[in-house]
Amino acid sequence: MRLFAALDPPPDVLDTLRGAVDRGRRHEPGLRWSRPRDWHLTLVFLGEVGEDRLPALTDALGDEARAHQPLSLSVRGWGTFPPGGGRSSVLWAGLGGDTEALGALADGLRAAAAGAGLPVEHRPYVPHVTVARSRPARDLADIVRALGPLRSRGWRAHEVHLVESRVGKEDRYRTVRTWALGWEADPAPSPERSTS
């Protein structure tokens, strides 16, 4: 299973983002725009995980999620990877609010996954929602200007989701497990649900 841990912005925040992205689509239809139903805030990418590693991984991630309190977040501003102008391949919406606590959550989940024996990347965490990709990379400064300012209402993130990425499927992302942030009891596994 190809897995990652993520937060899901609520529907009205995604609607705000969708409205802004629709302006961008009209300005630059040549980008490969992500589907709104696929938008999420990745906390840690885990890659391929064998079934034999899932119990230890889910225990470790669940313990870590419960060690963090719910977060106040908003979608705010635009950015690119790589940053700093020039040629970029990813256009994203940024996050505002409890970003320091969000970074601590991402770092904690990364450490928990490593402790469960998974190789994880160790690079600075940049909270974002990917909205478009460019192949080949190009200067995205004009599209960022055309998108204009972005600021959603704030929301409280209460749950971390373990998500399976199923490339080539219509419902590309499927939630495997969900943990409540700051919850002390051990929750039962969440029923499988599609994030579409």
8 A C-beta contact, residue 36 and residue 17? yes
Judge whether 162 and 2 are in contact, CB under 8 Å: no
- CB-based contact 175:5 (threshold 8 Å): no
The H-or-E segment that residue 112 falls in is: helix 99-115
Length of the chain as a residue count: 196
71 near 157, Cβ under 8 Å?
yes
Q: Which residues are catalytic?
A: 40, 128
- Burial tier of 72 (Cβ tally within 10 Å: 0-12, 13-18, 19+): middle
Contacts for 20-23: CB closer than 8 Å, 24+ residues apart: 20/93, 20/147, 20/148, 20/150, 21/131, 21/132, 21/147, 23/146, 23/147, 23/148
